[in-house]
Amino acid sequence: MTDFKSYISRYESFEICRRAASRTMERLAKNRGRAAQGIFERLKFCRKGNRCFSGACPVCARRYRLRLLSQAEHVLGEDDPWVQLWWTPPSALVAKGLLVDFDLGRLLDQQKQALLESMPGAIAIGGIDVSLGTRGSIAAVWRVSSCVLVSGSISQEAFDRLTHTFRPGSTSCHSFSIEPVLNQPHMLSYVFKHRIFARTYDHNMSAGSRPKFNTLHPSFADEADLFQERWPLWNRLLLHNVSAGKDPNRPTLRRLI
């Protein structure tokens, strides 16, 4: 069993998250919008014994992640092979300024149905990954992608169904990848990451190269915080044949089959 508290401490210790929360409050204090000020007030009074559970709070997200990661590793089976599925529907490419109003609930329902039809007997745990796609220095579009980790190997029949359902260019998929997971703790931590980044894409990237990640510009960071306030990490889970329990702030993952 991975000690995730030690594993993520280099980049997500309590002190790092506390400082990140302070920077978020400093930025939101300059935004006079009612919603932004509401997040600012919640973060300002967040403290031990009285956590705010705001979706934009790095401290509360860390607490949730530490509880979720170890449970997810256990449910997936730390000694079993995992397969990663990653896809972005065309409807999940969202214009700048429209992220807060994006109907994520509808998207989650569609993705859960797609998993049910493609691999009904599998165990899968994942969530929604949001990033601001950029070309060079120009912000292009918000990408609302789905990523799940599947326990065990995938049968050829399930693979054929998945690649048919999520074939790039279809009405249900803009881009899609399926590959084995080599570093389980790293990928598990990434799937349930809290921060939203600007991600640089380049049509001329060589095969196998990865996009570059950058901190969001303050104007986009405010939009991301407003989205996360509406859709916190614990409401962005994508679970297949797995239950998260009744308390959204305290996950108790268990297999349903």
Quick one: DSSP state of residue 53?
-
- At residue 242, the 3 state secondary structure works out as strand
Average pLDDT, the chain: 88
User: In 3D, which of 9, 115, 25 has the Cα closest to residue 62?
Assistant: 9
Task: Answer positive or negative: Cα dihedral of 62, 64, 67, 70.
Answer: negative
pLDDT given for residue 136 in this prediction? 59
Q: pLDDT of 171-194, one tens digit each?
A: 778 888 899 998 999 999 999 988
Phi, psi for residue 212 in degrees, rounded to 5: -95, 145
Element (H, E) at 129: strand 124-135
φ and ψ of 208, to 5 deg: 90, -10
User: In the structure encoding, which two tokens stand for residue 24, read together?
Assistant: 């978020």
pLDDT at 211 over 70: no
Residue 103 has pLDDT above 80, yes or no: yes
Token pair 């998207």 is at which residue? 107
Angle at 217 between CA 212 and CA 220, to 5 degrees: 105
Q: What whole-number distance in Å separates Cα of residue 116 and Cα of residue 148? A: 13
3-state DSSP: the chain helix, strand, coil percent, rounded to 5? 40, 25, 35
Least-confidence region, from 40-49, 199-208, 242-251: 199-208
Decide which of 13 and 197 is more confident.
13
**Summary count for the chain: helices (H), strands (E):** 9, 10
Residue 202 has pLDDT above 70, yes or no: no
What was the pLDDT predicted at 76? 95
Tell me the CA distances in angstroms from 44 to 48, 57, 184, one per residue in order.
Answer: 12, 10, 35
Tell me the average pLDDT across 98-126: 93
* Closest residue by Cα to residue 148 from 227, 236, 234, 62: 236
User: Cα separation of 77 and 123, whole Å?
Assistant: 10
State percent of the chain over pLDDT 90: 65
Per-residue pLDDT, 46: 96
Supply the DSSP string of 130-185, one letter for each residue. Answer: EEEEEETTEEEEEEEEEEEEEESPPPHHHHHHHHHHT-TTSTT-SEEEEEE-SSHH
Q: Which residue has 């009405």 as its token pair?
A: 171
Each residue's pLDDT tens digit, 23-73: 999 999 999 899 999 999 999 999 999 999 999 999 999 999 999 999 999
Q: How many residues does the chain have?
A: 257
